[in-house]
Amino acid sequence: MKVYQIPVLSNNYVFLLHDAEANTAAVVDPAISEPVFQMLKELGAKLVAIFNTHHHSDHVGGNRMLVEHFPDAIVYGGVEDRGRIPEQQVFLQDGDRVSFANRTAEVFFVPGHTRAHIAYYFPPVISGEMGDLFCGDTLFSGGCGRLFEGTPTQMVASLTKLRNLPDSTYVWCAHEYTLNNLQFDLTVDRNNPDLQQRFAEVKQMRDRHEATIPANLGMEKRTNPFLRWDAPELQTTTQSANAIQTFARLRGMKDHF
């Protein structure tokens, strides 16, 4: 399974998964359809699946057109998103599994950004190699999604599921927000050497107009304050007494950054 990353709209990524042997493809969160059609044409591949993480239009906007052209494509989404994702056929719950190419993904229910958000985790084929996490707007590099339909308690539980995955995991998040996120992160965790280094690298990458996605989950665990609610230095910075409060205050500060 090869992952192609298609930048669309102002800062979204659509991910196209290609099975070269079967010449089939799946797409994660198609915000729009045109660039997906174009890449399918280039690859000569048939679309067989759409994996949606949540119902926002910048994640499902291409569903209808894609299904119109590929009526056999199966549209997956979270069970709580019933009625909100166009063309949805499969209603996934925490712990469900979905297959593509030679890989099987585990589904995580990760409410917080929306009340129905799910993530797809493909473990590595050979243990020790990189796994692939498609987490939509739940976890970003250096940040996390805004809490539109969920609480800090829910989001910490959701992010805990993702934080428990192996360090050697590619984080395929749906937005290129990394530089702005890291600028905020430095205001709350400025003495973190891993964060300082990550910022310097990302700054250079963005100066060269390069994508900072996929990120690396091991790196995120060391640098992303929204995965570090239990770090004593962040609890001090936010003057909070527990992990949920730390997370909630960080999220509130970022909302006004």
Q: Which residues bind Fe ion (CB under 5 A)?
A: 58, 137
CA dist 189 and 16 (Å) reads 35
Cα-trace Rg, the chain = 18
Beta-strand relationship, 139-140 and 143-144: antiparallel
* Closest distance to Zn ion from the beta carbon of 143 (Å): 13
> Of 96 and 137, which has the nearer Cβ to Zn ion?
137
**Nearest alpha carbon to residue 14 among 174, 170, 121, 144:** 174
Q: Is 206 helix (H, G, I), strand (E, B) or coil?
A: helix
CA dist 43 and 180 (Å) reads 34
* Closest distance to Fe ion from the beta carbon of 56 (Å): 5
> Of 123 and 145, which has the nearer Cβ to Zn ion?
145
> Of 56 and 228, which has the nearer Cβ to Zn ion?
56
Contacted by 220, from Fe ion, Zn ion, none: CB < 5 to 8 Å by type: none
Contacted by 81, from Fe ion, Zn ion, none: CB < 5 to 8 Å by type: none
* Closest distance to Zn ion from the beta carbon of 174 (Å): 7
Q: Which residues bind Zn ion (CB under 5 A)?
A: 56, 137
CA dist 180 and 157 (Å) reads 24
* Closest distance to Fe ion from the beta carbon of 53 (Å): 9
Contacted by 185, from Fe ion, Zn ion, none: CB < 5 to 8 Å by type: none
> Of 13 and 122, which has the nearer Cβ to Fe ion?
13
Exposed, middle or buried, 74 (CB in 10 Å: 0-12/13-18/19+)?
middle
